[in-house]
Amino acid sequence: MSRKRTRVGPLATPESTADPLDVDALLDDQNTRIIVCCGSGGVGKTTTSASLALRAAERGRKVVVLTIDPARRLAQAMGIEALENTPRPVEGVNGGPGSLDAMMLDMKRTFDEVVEGQASPEKAKQILENPFYVALSSSFAGTQEYMAMEKLGQLHRDAVETGDYDLIVVDTPPSRSALDFLDAPERLSSFLDGKFIRLLTAPARGPARLMTAGFSMMTNALTKILGATVLQDMQTFVAAFDTLFGGFRARAQKTYALLQAEGTAFLVVAAPEPDALREAEYFVERLTGEDMPLAGLVVNRASTAPAGSLDADEAMAAASRIDRTGAGDPEQTPGLTVALLRLHADRIRIVEREAVLRRRFAAAHPAVPTAVVPALSTDVHDLAGLRRVGELLAAQR
């Protein structure tokens, strides 16, 4: 059964031209098997992911949420002292047939599991103990994003086989660029399949013999820069890893195809700020270009207008009059009244500025349903807070 790929909704403003995002329709659709929350760092992807997962579970879905947030706020919010690389049940989900498990990506452990699952015990031991592998699996640029894709693939395969989950919610890595999550498999594959890496183990026969002298000069130079041990570790790693490389690339391609499948829904998460919405635009365009199913945009921490009928100009004019005459509320000093009026004006201007940014986004991408979640007065640190965010996400219509 096909599902329209643009739907869902929060606190849409009257001036917005985009349809509101119908979050509950997305969560209740049994055809939706994977929800990927993506966006630049610091925009609330983790909170959004956890809130969606909790709401889906309390509406009857069997959910697992995968987070890659190094701050570990998700574990605290869900009452789990420490998340692990395997799903753990979350206590306190409200009744019904639904359930919620949570896990946190352990980048190196996931890489180790792939090696152990693909290589013989002897070959796996050789790879896992190699210093170059340790560095690659712990800190190489793109490894975290690649392993997030790898873990998503594992979860999906397990869900299909066991039926333990009917919805996977993914919190993508807090990367410099939101596009890193999609690019990571190809970047890691390109590195492992690169000319330099292949030269390290090129056989000294056939056409390769013609390169021996030049390659020896290069390796001699690298030895002086890196040291003989580092270069030897790289050569040993590549020789041992070579037989596993095809499996890495094949699984990356399968997971990429999974992200394009009908049962997947991408939610782009942003803050009401120029840079974050610009990044969101890049991601929307990339997802569209890659034919990936975009469900909508979530704008977190939106400012709300203060109570009162004064607009910003009227508030500033009143503040100027009081400042000149000394008049004001007899219960307050004139200085305090002036400060409150100016604060009122500043708040209204912030709300208006954010509305302009959202209108610009909607004008450029009118087919992207949007949810606008107001900033809360406190941090989200428990299930009640996550539940409240979920209610705001679902209140858009």
| Terminal-to-terminal C-alpha distance of the chain | 25
Could you read off the pLDDT of 326-345 as tens digits, one per residue? 655 555 556 777 788 888 78
**Model pLDDT, residue 185:** 64
Could you read off the pLDDT of 62-93 as tens digits, one per residue? 999 998 765 666 777 787 777 788 999 999 99
More confident residue, 208 or 45: 45
How does strand 167-171 pair with strand 62-67? parallel
Decide if pLDDT at 180 tops 60.
yes
**Model pLDDT, residue 299:** 97
CA pair distance 390, 388, nearest whole angstrom:
5
Decide if pLDDT at 13 tops 60.
no
C-alpha pair distances (Å), 389 with each of 20, 66, 72, 380: 16, 18, 18, 8
**Model pLDDT, residue 76:** 78
C-alpha pair distances (Å), 239 with each of 115, 149, 197, 244: 14, 25, 10, 10
pTM: 0.80
**Model pLDDT, residue 16:** 47
- The 3-class secondary structure across the chain, one letter per residue, is CCCCCCCCCCCCCCCCCCCECCHHHHHHCCCCCEEEEECCCCCCHHHHHHHHHHHHHHCCCEEEEEECCCCCHHHHHCCCCCCCCCCEECCCCCCCCCEEEEEECCHHHHHHHHHHHHCCHHHHHHHHCCHHHHHHHHHCCCHHHHHHHHHHHHHHHHHHHHCCCCEEEEECCCCCCCCHHHHHHHHHHHHHCCHHHHHHCCCCCHHHHHHHHHHHHHHHHHHHHHCHHHHHHHHHHHHHHHHHHHHHHHHHHHHHHHHHCCCEEEEEEECCCHHHHHHHHHHHHHHHHCCCCEEEEEEEEECCCCCCCCCHHHHHHHHHHHHHHCCCCCCCCHHHHHHHHHHHHHHHHHHHHHHHHHHHHHHHCCCCCEEEEECCCCCCCCHHHHHHHHHHHHCCC
Beta bridge partner(s), residue 34: 168, 264
